[in-house]
A and B are shown apart, each in its own frame.
Chain A
Amino acid sequence: MAMLAALAFAALLPACKPDAPEPEEEITTVNLKFTAGASTVTFSFKEGSNPDTIKLSPSTSYVLDLEFLNENETPAEDVTEEIRTENDEHLICFEVVAGNVTITRTDKDANNLEVGLKSTWQTGAASTGSVIVELRHQPDGLKDGTCAPGDTDVEVTFPVRIQ
């Protein structure tokens, strides 16, 4: 009887197939669109590769529009919209590790706290350095205008060259 059970067992199993995994909601790509006057230049980070070097001109004021995408989906899903809708739960933090650039967030959420999807970058003299772009998720009333609370959804260190 045990042998019979074993045979039945062996016959049944290959018919089983594991469930396909759920696609994960994630961010795979960060695009930085710099605008100065009429000219626009874009730098990116795609997961699995190195981040682009941000090349900017000295003593110029740029407007930065950030874009977050999930390119695992076809067509690519624009996560920026979702962040904009839930802007009272998100904060983008810029940390200048080195280089002559001053970054100011220019957009605000419903509670009059900064968001950071839009910012101005004022460059100084020619220099090289790096800037850490961080998307903090601060739900459930955690957002207080500082970078400390919440989780890191995105953290990319972009090299910067001002020339």
Chain B
Amino acid sequence: MPVFRIVALASLLLAAMLPAPAQVREPCRLFAAGQLLDAATGEPLPYARVFIPELNRGAFTDSMGNYRLLRLCPGSYTLTFSHLACEHYELKIELTASRIDTLRLSHKDSQAETIDIRAAKQPDPPTQAVARLRGRELEAGQGLSLAAAMRNLPGISTLQTGATIAKPVIHGLHSNRILILNNGIRLEGQQWGSEHAPEIDPFVAKQLTVIKGAAGVRYGSGAVGGVILVEPGELPDSPGVRGELHLQGFSNGRQGLGSALIEGQLPGHSAWAWRVQGTLKGAGTLHTPSYVLANTGLAEANFSLTARYQTLKAGAAWYYSRFHTRLGILQASHTGSLRDLQAAIERAQPLGSDTARFTYRLARPYQDVRHHLVKWRGYIRPDDRNTLSFTYAFQYNIRREYDLHRPRGAAPDGTLRAELNFFIYTHTAEAVWERSAGPWKHSTGIFLLAQNNRLEGRAYIPNFVSAGAEAFWIARRSWQRLTWESGIRYDYRWVYSAREERGIPVYTQQQFQRPSGATGLIWRLSPTLQLSANTGLAWRPPHVNELFSEGVHHGASSYEQGDSLLSAEQGLKSVLSLMWQRPRFSGELSVYHHHFFNFIYLRPNGYEITIRGVFPAFQYTQAPALLAGADLSLAYALTPRWTVRGQASYLRARNLAEQAPLPLMPANRMAYTVQYSSEAGRGGWRFHAEGSWRTVFRQRQAPQGIDLLDPPPGYSLLEGEAGLERHRCSFAFGVYNALNTEYRDYLNRFRYFAAEPGRNLYARLKILL
């Protein structure tokens, strides 16, 4: 439940603004709390005054727009909200129990409907466990990759190939087992590969939401392990032009980035709004505490364009985004044979690191990845109860992978030719009918997909065309303290693939189809306590790499064999979450149990003799598996300004057929944070500072005898940040890996070759124009 959750996340800031609890009169223990949002942008409204004239008492909202009035006696009150830029708003309440509201205030100059669209635009909270990132917490990670920005959320970790290529992992699952929705569109790239990072500019997002449950019913097959929603802010619904500028610098790799956003309404046409957004990023060679990581720079250039037409009855939006990144890959990690890999592992530091120097220039090997997304969405709202929306999107993803050396036979200018080229074209279309009838809400939809994937160069997966048709129905009913939701879905997928076997093309047609379903509830036990539970059955078709791989997986130095007879992978995930929200102490505990009936994994299968030497062979196969774990996060306000937070994630993942752990699962981890935040001082500046101690334990649940190298020891990192902010401007200085700790992470494939980057100082500036 987002309102509740957002409040929970920001509770420490809230608590920081409260006077110490004293002289509490026994019967007056109620509170009125909530969050104020800008109706136009959906952004939190900080420093708005909330006042109760009857009591002559008030408070200001914090930087997240949260307010809280404590120790209220039952009775009738008027809550007045005032903000410099916004219309004054009054809310009459009959206080019999504590309450948490979300209110959206419109700008004074708004011509449209004035005020009080209470929670109108808030999507219905999912019954799965959810983690959200927005505001300053989001900004703190936006200069990193999408996955790295989310790495500190409970239950989330990253699967990495070096420091620059990172994929998000939800409760131990990643790649084809999670879906990433970029502005409502399923990201369709080459997500099956562990070294293929999501092609999304983190600065597109105003909010990142992670649904940590089986969310296949709403979002489609593939959402077996969870969903990540990359949500841009809402377009302005008041006249004028506004903008946002981010400038950031990082010491390690001497990374610099700038990101800007300009948005507005067409003058005189309030129904039309537009946005232009872009990011430029450049980084050079990274270094560990003791050596340079040759060729680990990156260069990225992204932009997006949005236009929207909106009236009460109908609307449409157009969106185009382009993502382009070039990622250098540590030269020493390029190993063509098992002997090369073994030699690389035995070296204390990567080959050539003693002569490597800092440079922004990228050399081989590197990846060059582009992603284009075109989206059109239209809706009609014939009456207040029904909304019909259509979405069409086209995505074109080009991935070029350059090996360390140009191949034999290529011309000497072969640096321009990639050894491996993927081109994937995806059309998707969705139609959804949403209907609300009293306490009931229904959502019915169909989804269609057509895809063509083509490879050039070193064959690794087959070429394929694919088509999908999916239909779902979700019903939701709310009572005063309970919300119940259930849904069913049916997905069909057709895959026609072409591969080469000893020089001869072989064509295969396959079909996969499955029903899926989910049910869940949110039970508001009291204003301070909420329980949510969800059980969902989700599936995904096996990917062509799992069906037809036959060859050496470069980099992994393993010989991978597909199995064309694999069936669709199905899993049942249940999540139980308890959230509490007390004035000084808040927290959340989520427990999950994810049972796969036929988990697809690579089973060791002896050795394979190839022309490039002998490789350990792995066969894609299926077995029942169980992933079970828990996430805990706590926040406690020591004083109005000081808050401590703690967080822990635990996961146990077992292959039930072999009675062995599943490989490449995130190790257990915990973190402590101490945070200080001051009230607005001279000139309206507010100060914040925080320090975190993050511990990742050694992965003791790793399968024996498969990996060339045991999981590395656990490690702890110190991070810190301090910053100042005002209404239109904020800046912060901070440090990652403050103690310059030398460590390696089990989920980073480069652990075979090199340590993680050392101390990284950064500075961050944000200006609202």
Q: Could you tell me which A residues sit within 8 Å of B by CB distance?
A: 2, 5-6, 9-10, 13, 16-28, 30, 45, 47, 49-51, 72-74, 79, 82-83, 86, 89-90, 137-140, 142, 150-157
B499 with A24: CB separation less than 8 A: no
Residue B462 interfacial (CB < 8 Å): yes
From A74, which residue of chain B is reached at the shortest CB distance? B503
In the complex where A13-B467, A82-B408, A142-B405 touch, is A18 in contact with B613 (Cβ < 8 A)? Answer: no
A2 with B446: CB separation less than 8 A: yes
B612 with A24: CB separation less than 8 A: no
8 Å CB contact of A19 from B407, B431, B463:
B463
Taking the closest CB of chain A, its distance from the CB of B553, in whole angstroms, is: 15
The docked-state distance in angstroms from the alpha carbon of A139 to that of B409 is 10
The docked-state distance in angstroms from the alpha carbon of A150 to that of B336 is 9
A155 with B457: CB separation less than 8 A: no
Taking the closest CB of chain B, its distance from the CB of A141, in whole angstroms, is: 10
In the complex where A16-B496, A20-B463, A25-B407 touch, is A5 in contact with B612 (Cβ < 8 A)? Answer: no
The docked-state distance in angstroms from the alpha carbon of A157 to that of B431 is 59
Residue among B458, B462, B613 with the highest chain A CB neighbour number at 10 A: B613
From A3, which residue of chain B is reached at the shortest CB distance? B446
What 5 additional pairs, Cβ within 8 angstroms, besides A137-B407, A155-B611? Answer: A17-B496, A22-B459, A25-B407, A138-B405, A150-B405
From B471, which residue of chain A is reached at the shortest CB distance? A6
Residue B606 interfacial (CB < 8 Å): no
In the complex where A16-B452, A150-B405, A151-B336 touch, is A30 in contact with B611 (Cβ < 8 A)? Answer: yes
Residues from chain B with a CB closer than 8 A to the CB of A150 are 405
Taking the closest CB of chain B, its distance from the CB of A162, in whole angstroms, is: 23
From B462, which residue of chain A is reached at the shortest CB distance? A21
> Could you tell me which residues of chain B, from 353 to 404, have a CB within 8 Å of some CB in chain A?
390, 403-404
8 Å CB contact of A21 from B337, B408, B500, B612:
B500
Interface string of B478-520 (1 = CB under 8 A from A): 0000000000000000101111101101010000000000000
Residues from chain B with a CB closer than 8 A to the CB of A16 are 450, 452, 465, 467, 496
The docked-state distance in angstroms from the alpha carbon of A82 to that of B431 is 57
13 contacts between A and B (CB under 8 A): A2-B446, A10-B467, A20-B498, A21-B498, A23-B503, A25-B409, A86-B409, A137-B405, A150-B405, A151-B336, A151-B405, A155-B611, A157-B614
8 Å CB contact of B337 from A5, A23, A30, A155:
A155
Residues from chain A with a CB closer than 8 A to the CB of B406 are 139-140
Taking the closest CB of chain A, its distance from the CB of B423, in whole angstroms, is: 10
In the complex where A9-B450, A23-B503, A30-B611 touch, is A18 in contact with B409 (Cβ < 8 A)? Answer: no
Residue B475 interfacial (CB < 8 Å): no
Taking the closest CB of chain B, its distance from the CB of A15, in whole angstroms, is: 10
The docked-state distance in angstroms from the alpha carbon of A50 to that of B458 is 24
The docked-state distance in angstroms from the alpha carbon of A12 to that of B727 is 55
In the complex where A9-B467, A13-B450, A140-B405 touch, is A18 in contact with B462 (Cβ < 8 A)? Answer: yes
Residue B767 interfacial (CB < 8 Å): no
Residues from chain B with a CB closer than 8 A to the CB of A157 are 613-614
The docked-state distance in angstroms from the alpha carbon of A24 to that of B469 is 34
The docked-state distance in angstroms from the alpha carbon of A103 to that of B337 is 23
Judged by DSSP, the binding face of A is loop
Residue B242 interfacial (CB < 8 Å): no
From A153, which residue of chain B is reached at the shortest CB distance? B408
A18 with B503: CB separation less than 8 A: no
Residues from chain B with a CB closer than 8 A to the CB of A51 are 609
A140 with B403: CB separation less than 8 A: no
From B495, which residue of chain A is reached at the shortest CB distance? A18
Residues from chain B with a CB closer than 8 A to the CB of A13 are 450, 465, 467, 494
Interface string of B433-466 (1 = CB under 8 A from A): 0000000000000101010111111110011110
From A27, which residue of chain B is reached at the shortest CB distance? B611
Interface string of B755-769 (1 = CB under 8 A from A): 000000000000000
Residue B290 interfacial (CB < 8 Å): no
The docked-state distance in angstroms from the alpha carbon of A72 to that of B469 is 39
A18 with B339: CB separation less than 8 A: no
The docked-state distance in angstroms from the alpha carbon of A21 to that of B45 is 56
The docked-state distance in angstroms from the alpha carbon of A23 to that of B390 is 42
Taking the closest CB of chain B, its distance from the CB of A104, in whole angstroms, is: 23
8 Å CB contact of B454 from A19, A24, A30, A74:
A19
Residues from chain B with a CB closer than 8 A to the CB of A73 are 503
Residues from chain B with a CB closer than 8 A to the CB of A154 are 611-612
From B497, which residue of chain A is reached at the shortest CB distance? A18
Taking the closest CB of chain A, its distance from the CB of B722, in whole angstroms, is: 47
B496 with A72: CB separation less than 8 A: no
Interface string of B311-341 (1 = CB under 8 A from A): 0000000000000000000000010110110
Taking the closest CB of chain A, its distance from the CB of B470, in whole angstroms, is: 11
Taking the closest CB of chain B, its distance from the CB of A100, in whole angstroms, is: 23
Residue B529 interfacial (CB < 8 Å): no
